[in-house]
């Protein structure tokens, strides 16, 4: 059995394949010419020395690799600074926490999208969509859909 070098969680290949299968099933109903592709980008959200800072699934023989997303946190910080609602204050501590988390997740999503959009090896004539990340095993994981 092959090992996962860019490890986020044990079932990351299975999750990606299931998401791609679902996308193919949905888009084929719309038009048989659609050939969606799914890949995952996980950005480490916690300080850990036993994990890579960013992981892409699939990790091998793909047009973009994990290292090309290493600047995601820096890009996301700059993006977050541009949000006009960054200074919104809530009297409820929990509401403030949710608001701050939403802005962080949004900035991570947009940073991933920018890295994909600017990549020189990006396949032409395709549309790219990146999901808001979900926290999985210390990573903020986004699903990238290519149509």
Residues pairing with 89 in the sheet? none
3-state secondary structure 6-31: CCCCCCHHHHHHHHHHHHHHHHHHHC
Q: Which helix (H) or strand (E) holds 144?
A: strand 139-146
Per-residue pLDDT of the chain (147 residues; tens, 9 = 90+): 467 889 999 899 999 999 999 999 999 999 999 999 999 999 999 888 889 999 999 988 889 999 999 999 999 999 999 987 767 788 888 988 898 899 999 999 999 999 999 999 888 888 899 999 999 999 999 999 998
The structure's pTM equals 0.90
- Would you list the domain boundaries of the chain? 12-146
Spacing of C-alpha 82 from chain mean position: 20
- Rounded to whole angstroms, how far apart are CA atoms 72 and 74? 6
């Amino acid at each position: 059995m092959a090992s996962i070098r860019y490890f986020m969680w044990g079932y990351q290949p299975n999750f990606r394949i299931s998401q791609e299968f679902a996308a193919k099933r949905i888009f084929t109903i719309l038009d048989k010419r659609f050939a969606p592709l799914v890949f995952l980008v996980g950005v480490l959200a916690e300080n850990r020395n036993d994990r890579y800072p960013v992981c892409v699934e699939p990790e091998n023989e793909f047009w973009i690799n994990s290292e090309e997303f290493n600047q995601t946190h820096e890009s996301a910080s700059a993006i977050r600074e541009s949000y006009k609602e960054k200074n919104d204050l809530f009297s409820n501590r929990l509401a403030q926490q949710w608001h701050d988390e939403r802005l962080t997740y949004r900035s991570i999503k947009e940073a991933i999208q920018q890295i994909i959009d600017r990549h020189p090896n990006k396949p032409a004539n395709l549309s790219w969509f990146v999901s808001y990340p979900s926290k999985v095993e210390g990573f903020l994981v986004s699903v990238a859909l290519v149509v």
